[in-house]
Amino acid sequence: MAYPTGRITDTYGRKPGIVFGQGLALVGTLISGIGMLWHSALGVCLGMVIFTMGISASQQLRVAAADMYPPRMRGMALGFLAMGSLLGIAVTPGIMAISEEVSGRTGLDPLGLPWLLMPTLILVGMSMVGMVHPDPKVIGQTLERYYPQYQRPDRIQSAPQQFSGWDLWSNKAARIAIISNCAGQGNMAIVMVLTSLVLSHSGHSLTAITISHMFHSIGMFAFTIPLGWSADRFGRERVMYPGVAVTLVGALFVTLMGDYYWGVTLGTFLVGIGWSAANVSATALIADCVDTEHRGRAIGVSESGAGAMTLVAAAVTGPLVECTSLPAAGYAAALVAVVPLFLLGWTKVVQLRTATS
């Protein structure tokens, strides 16, 4: 859904695409909730597919945030937006508590009720998006009006009228940003599964596993503002590459410290913070490379690639562990993170050879 929604937001504005995604998510929650209450596996799966389509489409919120700020503030703006995910996680225990209370009084399935409570949050989000005026795309097209000292780069002023994924890929900065975002996402997708498996095989309780994942979520979202500020202050690549490297180190921690709970938890925390650094800086870098009219589809290309990596990781991790061992999946996660770092090293070597020849 990332690229099609990007086409919608590039054509009609960011708000219609975002609200479209939120509407899909709302429908998905209702179908999943009803499916849970009726004990229908088909209903739950259908609802979750629609829900995740909506969540993917709603990620155009990041395009909207990138539109509303000049490059010198864009990373931090994306960081503030990502921080909202941490606040959303904080609300989750309250939703579960309400579900258990209602379930105790009505006899309804406590696992189905949270799905039916989520539309309230989604409707609040839709109303808040509706309060943004003018549309973020309009702001992006007229940044000079809001930031008088801003000067639109010549390469953007002369941008082609038609968007081309190949042209985006041909842009060196955009290409490495897409690869880094995909690598961070693929690494994290494997490690999130691996963490649960490693801790479970080591005899840890479900509560202990949940706490470990809580630290992972903290790593993902608690530091997005300083990471975004750093990307603005020191440059996108100086945050993006170290972020990918941190995911590699985190994957190795999870792999090699299977019997040590806090070692595994530290590893999954590092993967979270590394993903955050790579994602925020890569998104800002892609936004820097394209004009406002193309930004929705450009970031959609990156998110589609990241989604494909998640799908591959989900399909590979289980069979890899089943046929070999748990550490094999961890090494696979580390190998995924090596790709953009290898490309960085290769680029430096080529530049050095060019300079000396």
For the stretch 332-346, pLDDT in tens is: 999 999 999 999 999
Query: How far, in Å, CA of 313 to CA of 46, rounded?
Result: 22
Confidence tier at 315 by pLDDT (50, 70, 90): confident
Query: How far, in Å, CA of 10 to CA of 3, rounded?
Result: 10
Residue with tokens 């820097």, as numbered in its chain: 288
Mean pLDDT, residues 189-193: 90
pLDDT for position 285: 96
Query: How far, in Å, CA of 357 to CA of 355, rounded?
Result: 6
Q: At what angle do helices 261-289 and 71-106 cross, to 10 degrees?
A: 130
Confidence tier at 16 by pLDDT (50, 70, 90): very high
Query: How far, in Å, CA of 324 to CA of 318, rounded?
Result: 10
Mean pLDDT, residues 183-194: 92
Query: How far, in Å, CA of 4 to CA of 22, rounded?
Result: 15
Query: How far, in Å, CA of 230 to CA of 177, rounded?
Result: 16
pLDDT for position 157: 47
| DSSP characters over 247-296 | HHHHHHHHHHTTT-HHHHHHHHHHHHHHHHHHHHHHHHHHHHHS-HHHHH
104 vs 118, more confident = 118
pLDDT for 52 beyond 90: yes
Query: How far, in Å, CA of 194 to CA of 191, rounded?
Result: 5
| pLDDT tens-digit readout, 126-164 | 999 999 999 999 999 999 999 998 888 765 544 556 788
* Global confidence as pTM: 0.88
Query: How far, in Å, CA of 228 to CA of 77, rounded?
Result: 7
pLDDT for position 156: 56
Per-state percent for the chain, helix, strand, coil, to nearest 5: 85, 0, 15
157 vs 29, more confident = 29
Structure tokens at 221: 């979202």
Residue 357 has what DSSP assignment? Answer: -
Contact criterion met (CB below 8 Å) for 214 and 268: no
Mean pLDDT (the chain) is 90
Contact criterion met (CB below 8 Å) for 264 and 330: no
Residue 162's identity, in one-letter code, is: Q
Contact criterion met (CB below 8 Å) for 106 and 6: no
Query: How far, in Å, CA of 82 to CA of 62, rounded?
Result: 8
Would you state the torsion angle of the CA atoms of residues 276, 278, 280, 282, taken in this order, to the nearest 10 degrees? -160
Helix residue ranges, H only, 158-260: 165-170, 172-201, 206-221, 224-234, 237-256
| pLDDT tens-digit readout, 57-67 | 998 999 999 99
Percent of the chain topping pLDDT 70: 98
Query: How far, in Å, CA of 162 to CA of 12, rounded?
Result: 15
| pLDDT tens-digit readout, 216-264 | 999 999 999 999 999 999 999 999 999 999 999 999 999 998 788 999 9
Cis peptide before 134 (omega within 30 of 0): yes
How many helices and strands, by DSSP H and E, does the chain display? Answer: 17, 0
- Give me the domains of the chain, ranges plus CATH numbers: 1-133 (1.20.1250.20), 165-357 (1.20.1250.20)
Residue 90's identity, in one-letter code, is: A
Any residues with CB less than 8 A from the CB of 337 and at least 6 apart, and which? 183, 184, 187, 244, 245, 247, 248, 251, 274
Structure tokens at 191: 């490690």
Confidence tier at 352 by pLDDT (50, 70, 90): confident
Q: At what angle do helices 261-289 and 206-221 cross, to 10 degrees?
A: 30
| pLDDT tens-digit readout, 266-308 | 999 999 999 999 999 999 999 999 999 999 999 999 999 999 9
Confidence tier at 326 by pLDDT (50, 70, 90): confident
